[in-house]
Chains A and B, each alone.
Chain A
Amino acid sequence: MSQRTERRGIHVDQSDLLCKKGCGYYGNAAWQGLCSKCWREEYQRVRQKQIQDDWALAEKLQREEEAAYASSHGVQTQSHSQSTAPHPGHASLGPFSKFEEKKTNEKTRKVTTVKKFFSPSSRTATKKETQEGKTPSPSISRRASFDTDQVSRDFLDFLKNLQKPGREIHKQCRVFIVNMLSKKDLGADELSECVQDFYQNMADRLMSHFKGSSDSVEQVMDQVEKYIMTRLYKSVFCPETTDDEKKDLATQNRIRALHWVTIQMLCVSVDEEIPEVSENVDKAITDIIEMDSKRVPRDKLVCITRCSKHIFSAIRITKNEPASADDFLPALIYIVLKANPPRLQSNIQYITRFCNPSRLMTGEDGYYFTNLCCAVAFIEKLDAQSLNLSPEEFERYMSGQASPRFNGSEGDWPHTGSALGITATNPVLAQVNHNLELLSGLSGRQERLMEAAQSLQADLLSWSDSVQREVHDIREKYPLEILSCTVPAIDANNIDNDNLPSPLTPQVFSG
């Protein structure tokens, strides 16, 4: 196509057609009067410059972050370096505006010259930008699962409404993510510091942009957090540089070892006999387990809050009055013990490190999260005293020699403290106990049956003996005497026959 354009140009004006660089080749209007070779060089140069600027910006941000980390007053340093940015007029958006300027320059040039390729509509421009945005970090896009793609799309859709600042926000997030991914070997605390600085910076900029409307800032910050943390999740959740995983396992084992702790020991005012209450307890357990499946710190917090709300409902239904913290914390501990949520420590650490700090320190979510931290701390430190048990009892339960659940339901376990008045709380255990009782009853009955069968057998044997003996006795008593008498012939004693009438003689009738 370029060939054809060139050829067509020959017929217009010879003098204007040569490359402006004077290389002797023909130039082209679409290439600003340059020949294809010179244009490519020129274009490359501009592009290269832009790429370099990109990197310079990324490096600058990194330096800023490192400087912020180095000095204890992170935020101050940052604002310092910002004020020295080349555009003091746009102090808040300093690095962007420079960037954005160059970008626009180039875009307009492209738009005027190569109209066929680039439509000037802002929509395509945004799209183009995202494509470009992904090119320097193929590793991210490759790793991105469906989830992250979805989140990126949502993020872009959200930012479109903000127009120009939206693009700036996206650019900065992107640079930040690339930056973060290149710093994998940093410790978790450093990573956390980077993210927190980024939040702080972004919030400050947004604050000046929205003229102090906290709601809008919060809204944007939520989206930024969602976008960034979804992308960074894999590299910063439970990183290898920390012992989070070890702690997870320790907590998990600890909770398993504490399986015997009952509602009564913790003084939880939740009565699971009430169906509605046990339903709420189940929901709370589901919610706290679900927390692990979320990627964004805020979503994890939402799970904790939902779990807490269910606990409150359970307490309210049981006590018939709203729950206070005195009721809530024990109940939460109980739920955590029952649920044994996966990777609990990692999740808590992740939220602490990467959640927007304003959310953690204040607000409802922060309150419930703090309670969860307390519950975990309590479980870690839990000892006999905290359950109102004697150390011996605690030891026995921990070693599995005794189980408090049997005390209440069965009276025949006298060695464990029945004074506690513990009843079987777990319906499954109660069922098992019930079945055991049934079985022992059955075996007793079977034994009795066997005994009876044996005695029956003995009875039968002795009976036949006794019958024999009886028969023998009787035979002894009444011996069979056979009288010896001559048996006469049948006719011999036929004496009475004389009285009988003479037998009838057959009469013959003639005729």
Chain B
Amino acid sequence: MSAMRVDTKVVMLGKESVGKTSLVERYVHHRFLVGPYQNTIGAAFVAKAIQVEDKVITLGIWDTAGSERYEAMSRIYYRGARAAIVCYDLTDSSSFQRARFWVKELQKCEEQCKIYLCGTKSDLIEGDRSLRQIDYHDAQDFAEGNCSLSKMYHLDLIPELLNTRFPTYTKMPSSVPAEETGVNLGQKKDPYFYSCCHNN
């Protein structure tokens, strides 16, 4: 049964230009959008196969339009999703409000869906702490109440990327499809989910 394939839907939610696409690019292709890429036609949908124990799980990662004008439609997107990465920009408090909105929506409509909260652009606040608008503890409190977040993850920083706008974020959830396959992929002792980005 090694050829057993499981398709899992993962949606990316977050306000416009918080960096959903870059996050996906980074996860799938291990690179940042620092310049024009000619070899990718678009990053809105990517599939990535991961091997978990004896199963090959295909993560279908769905990027979504974050603009408020499409808010009414977002339900169509996350229908049937197994995991949702809700992104917010650490330097933009409105993006955090939107993130809260999505988390509530997901809890209401998709009980099966695991929610991951992800703060982005931590490189910007590393350079200038005054840019930070979302307090670490606010995010953690919210996440603990809603996403059971307890750990903050700091992504493997690649030195040459520190100067770009997008350097940090999570080891994207290797634990995503746990529920679907019935295998605890993360092999974690605690049932908590990860969040990402800042390590302070």
Contacts and interface: CB of A to CB of B under 8 A. Distances in A.
A214 interface: yes
A281 to B, nearest CB: 15
A428 B40 CA distance: 33
Contact of B43 (A324, A364, A371, A381): A324
A367 B45 contact: yes
A329 B65 contact: yes
B3 A215 contact: yes
Given A214-B4, A363-B7, A322 B72 contact: no
B65 A328 contact: yes
A276 B161 CA distance: 33
Interface in B1-34: 1, 3-5, 7-9, 12, 16-17, 20-21, 25, 33
A132 interface: no
Contact of B73 (A320, A326, A367, A374): A374
B173 interface: no
Interface stretch (A311-319, A430-438, A501-509): A311-319
Given A312-B41, A324-B44, A325-B64, A377 B8 contact: no
Interface in A318-341: 320-326, 328-330
Contacts of A367: 44-45, 60, 62
Nearest to B74: A374
Contacts of B20: 324-326
Contacts of B9: 361-362
A386 interface: yes
Listed from nearest, the 10 A-B pairs whose CB atoms lie closest are A324-B21, A312-B42, A362-B7, A325-B63, A329-B65, A367-B45, A374-B73, A323-B42, A386-B69, A325-B44
Interface of B: 1, 3-5, 7-9, 12, 16-17, 20-21, 25, 33, 35-37, 40-45, 47, 58, 60, 62-67, 69-70, 72-73, 76-77, 80
Given A322-B42, A330-B65, A364-B47, 20 more contacts: A213-B3, A214-B4, A321-B36, A324-B20, A324-B44, A324-B63, A325-B12, A325-B44, A325-B65, A326-B21, A358-B7, A362-B58, A366-B60, A367-B62, A371-B44, A374-B65, A374-B70, A378-B73, A385-B69, A386-B69
21 contacts: A212-B4, A215-B3, A267-B67, A312-B44, A313-B41, A323-B41, A324-B42, A325-B65, A326-B67, A328-B65, A362-B7, A362-B60, A364-B45, A364-B47, A367-B60, A367-B62, A368-B45, A373-B76, A378-B69, A378-B73, A381-B72
